[in-house]
Amino acid sequence: MRILLTGASGFVGQAVISRLCGEADVTIRAAFRTRPAHLPDRIEAIAIGDLGPDTDWCAAVRDVDVVVHCAARVHVMEDSEADPLAAFRRTNVAGTLGLARAAAAAGCRRLVFISSIKVNGESTAIGQPFTEMAPPAPQDPYGRSKLEAEEALFALGRETGMEVVMIRPPLVYGPGVRANFAAMMRWVACGIPLPFGAIDNRRSLVGVANLADLVARCIAHPAAANQVFLAGDGEDVSTTELLRRVAKALGKPARLLPIPQSLIEAAATLAGRKALADRLCGSLQVDIGKARQVLGWAPPLSVDEGLRTTAAHFLAGVRRPDGSLVHGK
């Protein structure tokens, strides 16, 4: 089986390469904008430049059986674009549809699309997780662009007969994770007291290795065709519990102050950081029962195992808040 993987140099793309390299009957063609520093010898690399409506996919999709589309314009907390929705649509909708059309024309039988739980929405009530049957309710330009891409792909699939599979992950973490998760680990590692010792919420996460394993199952399983699957580790944690587990994985004490959640939310709102407070204090749960039932899939790593591998990578080259590098514990 020949697989085209887009976003091969990205966080998820690299994990998918690692997972698929263990398959004897799989040949991987990796499409990238910036060539990864370390690419296994057996991987065929192809540069495609920026993802957009004018990207030329002809060489990349030639003789490909399955496309795994990880490349995207990703969500950021503070977008500098004057029109973020237009920017997301250019990459995540028009760029994705251009790839899909080229793949269908080349005879590709299936496209696996890494979407986002933001298609479902931003939050859930505790004990009422998102499912694949929940009506989409994206709240930001990124989520809207992912929903529009899903709809366009399903329409193209009906038109051409190419199978499409959507995977919607929540927050993805793992070795090499960046952004807010990496910042959280830095502060825990430095022993900074954090005011998150009394957060009673529930958040679903997915380790990058678990996500890559689900991608592998969606590539091959016949029942995955034309389906949507939510990804997750199968265990939900509060922000307080997550910080405690991160501290344990790092070999550090959890210095958590039991500040009332209402005070944190009020202070963050006054400081113009309401979106961050919503992530820290709000709940977002996903139900992975469909993937279990339809695909016979279960996350291979527990949350604690995923955090241990993440912490080990972090400790191999952790930076202090001032940017200086600290090796080891």
Residue 265 CA neighbour count, 13 Å, CB half: 11
**Is 142 known to be catalytic?**
yes
- 57, 130, 142, 314: which one is catalytic? 142
Unique residue bearing structure tokens 């899903």: 150
Say if residues 140 and 98 touch (Cβ distance below 8 Å): no
CA-based end-to-end distance of the chain: 43
The set of catalytic residues is 142
